[in-house]
Amino acid sequence: MKPLNLTLGHQILFFLLVTTGLLLIFAHSFMKNDVTSTNILDNNVPSSRTLKISKDLIEIIFHFNSKIFIIDPNLLMEFLNPQQSYELQWRFNLNLNESDRLATTFGIFDYHLREFQNLLKKQNITVENYGSQFPFNDTNVPVHIVFQMNNLTIHVVVFYHVEHFLWIGQMSPANCCSPSPMYGKFEQIFDPFKIQFIDIIPVPDDIEWFLSQLPTSRYLHCPIGEKMNWFTKYRIELNEQRIHKTIESIVTMKSLMRALRMEFWIMCGTLLGWFRHCHPIPYTTDTDLSTWSKYFQNENSSHGDWITDQLKSVALKHGLNLFYRFGEPSQTLEYSFRTQFYDEKIDLFVTYDNDGGAGSGANDSYLIPSHITKHKKYRNYRYPRYELCSITLLGHKLLAPCQTEQVIIREYGEKWNEPIKDWNYVSSPFNGDEIINFSFPIDQYTEYRRLYKSNELVMIN
């Protein structure tokens, strides 16, 4: 028999047919039994720690051309090792209850929605569609789709791309129940993500970070068109340089804190600016952020120093320089950073839980220490306890206290809406405790080095 003389085009076609056949055989064998896949995110995962996805779910994913991806928290947790699961609980308070789950949850990006809806229609699949008002242009958009397939209830959540974040809408009124307890009870936003395939299963590319956002994903909308009237009322102009500096602060700190797996949120003047007019205060001179003290506290007394050393090295990789560290981890810690381009000062306040000890409820509040550097003194500022929600500032997702107005009134008083250009962080706040002298050695009070000018030592008199 003579060998076939194939043209280049026929050779390519033949190769594609063979490859397709092999893929179909592989997919068929994959669906024949439950899929068991070791976690490729960490090669040290014990062999007993495996991912089990039923063939019914695999078939659903293939049925919709992998346009949908798994966001079901209970399934995503199976891709993580035990240490990652533990970190999600203590760092981000993520607690899941399997009994609350009435459906298997998938996500889909807005640009695949029409194709997905057409597939559902062609297959005559009966669906429940939920729409919601899109807060950025006041239109009504589909946000959740629920249907039955392979004897499973499938809940598909639509992720809409908006500026530098992803938005999903509320499924139903607050007094109704969502089949997926982590999605649809209210509007939510997330940092953008891409899709990766782990053993043909489509999931968010950073599963741990995606899951970490769930407890704080509830979205608080700032109606910028309405709030911008504040500038006209008080004849104050927008400060373009302040906007650029704030954006640099947001982008660099988000990058740093994500790398460190630390939650942080806007406070003080930055929180006031967002709540009052959806912008940074034009005449402010820095960006105010806060994080939890638990990240710096450990049974090992040197843990806070270790975190400071880590911050020094890691910050540089994210466009920041550690400028100062004030106080010590157990009760008085505070950090200052500088951005590398605009030289914007960022105060990272550490929030301490003042619950009176052992959960007694006494003095039930949060405390933030702030330092009066020239006099080697500090003062605690007291806030009502709050939860964290998601907001957007200058197009970027951030966190803020859900009980924003109560927090602002505590610090700025009932006339918080009126501009005060001569605000003094020591004497002006309404929520300051007595001024306290430091009683520990000066080398625990501050780092003397401005790291962005490595040869310059700055002494505090």
Q: Which CATH architecture has domain 224-444?
A: 2-Layer Sandwich (3.30)
Residues whose CB falls within 8 Å of the CB of residue 60, separated by 6 or more in sequence, listed in order: 68, 106, 149, 150, 152, 154
Residue 102's nearest CA partner among 153, 148, 157 is 153
What are the tokens at 449? Answer: 């080095």
| Predicted pLDDT of residue 33 | 35
The per-residue b/e assignment along 170-184, b for 16 or more CB within 10 angstroms, e otherwise, is bbeeeeeebbbbbbb
| Predicted pLDDT of residue 199 | 85
| Predicted pLDDT of residue 430 | 94
* CATH of 34-216 given 1.10.3470, 2.60.40, 3.30.460, 3.40.50: 3.30.460
What are the tokens at 286? Answer: 């820095």
Residue 60's nearest CA partner among 129, 144, 123, 131 is 123
pLDDT one digit per residue (tens) for the chain, 461 residues? 444 444 544 544 444 444 444 343 334 333 333 333 333 334 333 332 335 678 888 888 888 887 999 999 999 999 999 999 999 999 999 999 876 778 999 999 999 999 999 999 999 999 999 999 999 998 999 999 999 998 899 999 999 999 999 999 998 765 566 788 899 999 999 999 999 999 889 999 999 999 999 999 999 999 998 999 999 999 999 999 999 999 999 999 999 999 999 999 999 999 999 999 999 999 999 999 999 999 988 634 455 567 788 888 899 999 999 888 888 888 889 999 999 999 999 999 999 998 754 444 446 799 999 988 777 789 999 999 999 999 999 999 999 999 999 999 999 999 999 999 888 888 899 999 999 987 655 555 555 344 444 433 333 33
3-state DSSP call for residue 168? strand
* Residue 203 · residue 211 · CB < 8 Å: no
Between CA 40 and CA 452 the distance in angstroms is 39
* Residue 310 · residue 260 · CB < 8 Å: yes
Strands 104-109 and 69-70: antiparallel
- Residue 244 has a CB neighbour count (10 Å cut-off) of 14
**Residue 95 C-beta-side C-alpha neighbours within 13 Å:** 2
Between CA 85 and CA 88 the distance in angstroms is 5
Q: Cα dihedral angle (133, 135, 141, 145), rounded to 10 degrees? A: -80
Strands 345-354 and 286-292: parallel
Please work out, in degrees rounded to the nearest 5, the angle formed at the alpha carbon of residue 206 by the alpha carbons of 204 and 209: 110
pTM of the model: 0.84
What are the tokens at 227? Answer: 């709030």
What is the DSSP-derived secondary structure letter of residue 441?
-
HEC assignment per residue over 125-155: CCEEEEEEEECCCCEEEEEEEEEEECCEEEE
- φ, ψ dihedrals at 396, nearest 5°: -115, 140
Per DSSP, helices labelled H in 199-324 are: 207-212, 224-227, 229-233, 240-260, 268-277, 303-317
What are the tokens at 182? Answer: 């982590």
Region of 363 (left: φ > 0; alpha: ψ -120 to 50; beta: rest) is left
* Residue 224 · residue 408 · CB < 8 Å: no
Between CA 364 and CA 383 the distance in angstroms is 9
For the chain, the structural domain boundaries read: 34-216, 224-444
Decide if 34-216 and 224-444 have a common fold: yes
Between CA 168 and CA 135 the distance in angstroms is 11
3-state DSSP call for residue 287? strand
* Residue 395 · residue 164 · CB < 8 Å: yes
Q: Cα dihedral angle (116, 120, 123, 126), rounded to 10 degrees? A: 170
The count of residues in the chain is: 461
Residue 117's nearest CA partner among 104, 131, 103 is 131
